[in-house]
Amino acid sequence: MTAPLLEVRDLTVSFDGFKAIDGLSLSILPRSVRVLIGPNGAGKSTLLDTIIGRVRPAQGHIVFQGRDITRTPEYEIVQLGICRKFQAPGILDSLSVFENLALAARHHRPWWSFFRFGLEADLTERVEEILDLIHLRDKRDAPARSLAHGQKQWLEIGMVVASDADLLLLDEPAAGMSHAEVEQTAALVKRLSARHSLIVIDHDMTFVAQLDAPVSVLHMGRLLKEGSLDEVRSDPQVASVYLGRVEEDALGRA
Amino acid sequence: MLKHAQFPLYALALALFAFAPELVSPYHLSLLGRFLAFAILALGLTLVWGYGGILSLGQGVFFGLGGYCLAMHLKLAALPPGEIPDFMQWSGLTQLPWFWAPFRNPYFALAALFLVPALLAAGLAWLVFHRRVGGVYFALITQALALALSTFVISQQPYTGGFNGLTDFSSFLGFTLTDPSTQRLLYWLTLAVLALAFAFCSWLVRSNFGKLLTAIRDGENRVRFLGYNPTPYKVAVFALGALLAGLAGALFTLHVGVISPALIGVVPSIEMIIWVAVGGRASLAGAVLGTLIVNFGKDWISSAMPDLWLIVMGLLFILVVTALPGGLTGLGASLRRPVPAFRFPFRFPERKPSSAPTVSIVAPEAEDLP
Ligand SMILES: Nc1ncnc2c1ncn2[C@@H]1O[C@H](COP(=O)(O)OP(=O)(O)O)[C@@H](O)[C@H]1O
Ligand SMILES: [Mg+2]
């Protein structure tokens, strides 16, 4: 049995007493894709927030490659190999597409290398590859703020890839995209799984179906169900959660 | 280093300024000299505010420290051996205070005028930024510092010369300061320092450091989640801005022959923001241009109607903040596409999608984490 890349152990996150994550455990294997779904407010984004150190849990641990990162500073977590795409594009408006990718790619370089120009040759090659991967070759030198919404999403995915992290967290990467773009994004995610592990959050079931990966359903900060998309879909509890008919006590038994 | 297309333009401007002693009256030359010294400070402020997104309302502090470091030496150098400065005698001191003594050495003073502002700035910035205190608070802290330093200098009359500051200098490194030839040399020295500082800053903003700085301004939190700790970079740029301010203060003191608390308090510090804002806060050429325009304007208005200047300054500030966030150098862009003058503090996308191109006076707030 391979050791998990990421282990979330008995995690609880509370905001002023409200438990956004409630005793959640989860593990991610190397080079695998895990899809997280769940109704709005289920705690999906909060789980990612906690993994990357943006939110600190009240209880529980997050272990990455055997190392406890529950209290590690955010930038060190990235350097250890976890990088996240935010729900709405978090790109740097004033920099060009290339500069955004270059910034993400060279985070592990020593401080003195900041007093020179441009990107190191080895990284340039990678960044140029990523430009093709995210279909932004012809926007290479355009300011990031000038991109269309779907392109911004891709740029941020590209930045996460450029960071060369082992674990990529994608928060609703296909949101607001056209049908064709959703398909391209799904293909992109599948390609990435050859090199990285991914946790992907999304609502769009056609997108999730195209990923063809195990699905975890989150509800009120807890894991409701794990399995293939078909298994999860046919589960009556999951169905009722999505229809908003589940009662507190029904959850207690889950 | 510099953009090639702009290089001839800068060379031409430099040549013109170099010939200024032949072209303008001694009065205007002396004004130009001190305004060029101001422009060195403005370059630093452009890095700190325009590129780093850190609003400093206390740049006068670092200007003053640089000025005082040199002035202490100049004061001592003008004395016969064994004597202490006149204002100390009036206050009943009989011995030179210990912290004055090393300033007898001109090289100590030269080193101090760089190091004192830079180290104070680095210490302050580190204390504030490593705790992730937001930009608005930092601006207020720097303003409080400006108030505190000017009040302190006034109150410590026996040691600082109080309200009148330090004046009556005679020579520096063997040059007699009142000599017209020294005045010309000083003008060229100031111009040379400005040109070097300009070249250095242009190089810096195009380097990876400059890109990272811009990224921190656009989204400090986002940069953290790309694997960077923004604190050391913010501290570095703030210290660099203070160093340039100190250098400007020292050159100014040589030009004018006096440094006093009136030049380093809250109001001068805000004026410095206006120089940069008028030129365009993220443009180095704009910083120099804005400084010259605002200061010559001030000289002209103050000599015609002394009370008018404060009002004009206030109006200018409102104008550049609300209607013209890109300043003069951003005028073209402002006309082409209207830029919203204010930007709401950066929120993480989950909570609030960010909108189109926006500008803020202060860098976006760091979101506090529970
Ligand atoms: N910083 C915060 N402060 C208070 N409540 C929060 C915060 N972040 C998230 N929440 C709450 O936690 C719950 C889970 O939110 P979130 O993880 O964003 O859900 P989603 O599954 O839709 O991504 C929601 O009820 C939300 O209001
Ligand atoms: Mg979410």
Closest residue on chain A to B51 (Cα): A94
Measured CA distances, A138 to A132, A135, A143, A162, B86 (Å): 9, 8, 12, 18, 71
Q: Is the CB of A46 under 6 A from ligand 1?
A: yes
Cβ neighbours for A195, distance < 8 A, ≥ 6 positions apart: A31
For B108, residues 6+ apart whose C-beta sits below 8 A from its C-beta are B73, B102
pTM of the predicted protein model = 0.89
Bin A66: left if φ > 0, else alpha if -120 < ψ < 50, else beta: left
Residue A82: beta bridge partners? A167
Which DSSP symbol is given to A143?
Answer: B
The residue-averaged pLDDT of B61-76 equals 95
Please indicate whether residue A40, judged by its CB atom, sits closer than 6 Å to ligand 1.
yes
DSSP letters spanning B30-67: HHHHHHHHHHHHHHHHIIIIIIT----S-HHHHHHHHH
Determine the Cα–Cα distance for residues A224 and A236; give it in Å rounded to an integer. Answer: 11
- pLDDT tens string A149-186: 889 999 999 999 999 999 999 999 988 888 998 999 99
* Chain B residues near any Cβ of chain A (below 8 Å): 204, 206-209, 211-212, 214-215, 217-219, 222-229, 232-233, 348-350, 353-354, 356-357, 369-370
- Which of B221, B348, B350, when mutated, tests ligand 1's pocket best, judged by the most ligand atoms within 8 Å of its CB? B350
Yes or no: say if B347 and B365 are a contact pair by the CB < 8 Å rule. Answer: no
Burial A150-186 (b: 16+ CB within 10 A, else e): bbbbbbbbbbbbbbbbbbbbbbbbbbbbeeebbebbb
In chain B, the largest separation of any two C-alpha atoms, in whole Å, equals: 70
Which residues lie below 8 Å from residue B80, measured CB to CB, with a gap of 6+?
none
What mean pLDDT, rounded, does chain B reach? 85
* CA B220/CA A26 separation, integer angstroms: 30
Q: Say yes or no: CB of residue A222 within 6 Å of ligand 1.
A: no
Could you tell me if B22 and B3 are in contact, meaning their C-beta atoms sit under 8 angstroms apart?
A: no
| Token pair belonging to B319 | 């104008």
Burial of B286 (0-12, 13-18, 19+ CB in 10 A): buried
Assembly ipTM: 0.90
Residue for token pair 């674990």:
A167
**Best CA proximity match to A40, nearest among A254, A246, A251, A244:** A244
Give the residues across from A169 on adjacent strands.
A84, A199
For the domain A1-81+165-254, what is the CATH code? 3.40.50.300
Domain ranges across chain A:
1-81+165-254, 91-164
Three-state secondary-structure class, residue A217: strand
What is the rounded CA–CA span in Å between residue A44 and residue A28? 15
Closest Cα to residue A83, out of A71, A66, A95, A101? A101
- Chain B residues within 8 A of A52 when measuring between CB atoms: 225
Pick the residue whose CA is nearest to atom 18 on ligand 1: A45
Tens of each residue's pLDDT in chain A, 254 residues: 678 999 999 999 999 989 999 999 999 999 899 999 998 889 999 999 999 999 999 999 999 999 999 999 999 999 999 999 998 778 999 999 999 999 999 988 888 888 888 888 888 999 999 999 999 999 999 999 999 988 999 999 999 999 999 999 999 998 888 899 899 999 999 999 989 999 999 988 889 999 989 999 999 999 998 999 889 888 888 888 876 644 444 444 44
Residue nearest to atom 11 of ligand 1 (CA): A20
Give CA–CA dist B307/B359, Å, rounded.
Answer: 32
Q: How far, in Å, is the centroid of ligand 1 from the Cα of A48?
A: 11
Treating both helix axes as pointing N-terminal to C-terminal, what angle do A179-192 and A149-162 enclose, rounded to 10 degrees? 0
Percent of chain A with pLDDT over 70: 95
C-alpha distance from B316 to closest chain A C-alpha (Å):
26
